[in-house]
Amino acid sequence: MNINQLILERYSVRDFSDHMIEPEKLDKILEAGRLAPTAKNCQPHRVFVLSSDQAIKTIREITPSAYNAPIVLMIGAKTSEAWINPYSHHSSAEMDASIVTTHMMLTAWELGIGSVWVCWFDVERIKKAFTIPNDIDIFCLLPIGYPATSCVTSRNHLNRKSLADIVSIIEVK
């Protein structure tokens, strides 16, 4: 599948089948995250795989947005390893983790595996439940799995602003 077709077809999957993700496909998804670009190549990101019955039960108790996915990826970063912009003093950690997540989301779709990007959770509850070290921030979850046959796109999927709404051409005179 080429990238344009992939971007057009992908949608947030919130209803998953029982079919388990094959280990080699999970490896490909994780590898796509590993190869993502990061600021100054600092690679501060960390990916946690929740797949055991207990881990899945716990994450479903913490957020309704884990849905019925068989695997949930938890994406964060070791903040001390991230690049800090010397002008704004902003850390690149969240941007880096977002690019990693995007790589994994698109690669999953290419393999026929659906996902949904999730930020609706209490990060402190997650850190406590999964004993995440203090120096690691968790930014998002990516529940992944084969879409259920009944899975459909949400109303939001086709609702996008026009290019005119979001793009401005700046001409310097």
**Interface residues toward ligand FMN, by CB under 6 A:** 11-12, 14, 65, 116-120, 153-154, 156-157
**Which is nearer to ligand FMN, 6 or 22 (by Cβ)?**
6
In the bound complex, what is the minimum distance in angstroms from residue 88's beta carbon to ligand FMN? 20
In the bound complex, what is the minimum distance in angstroms from residue 156's beta carbon to ligand FMN? 3
**Which is nearer to ligand FMN, 128 or 157 (by Cβ)?**
157
Helix, coil or strand: residue 172: coil
Which residues fall within 8 angstroms of residue 114, CB to CB, at 6 or more apart?
Answer: 11, 12, 13, 16, 108, 144, 145, 146, 147, 151
Per the CB < 8 A criterion, the answer to whether 65 and 120 are in contact is yes
In the bound complex, what is the minimum distance in angstroms from residue 167's beta carbon to ligand FMN? 19
**Which is nearer to ligand FMN, 37 or 64 (by Cβ)?**
64
Which residues fall within 8 angstroms of residue 19, CB to CB, at 6 or more apart?
Answer: 145, 146
Give the residue at shortest CB distance from ligand FMN.
Answer: 120
**Which is nearer to ligand FMN, 84 or 151 (by Cβ)?**
151
Which residues fall within 8 angstroms of residue 18, CB to CB, at 6 or more apart?
Answer: 70
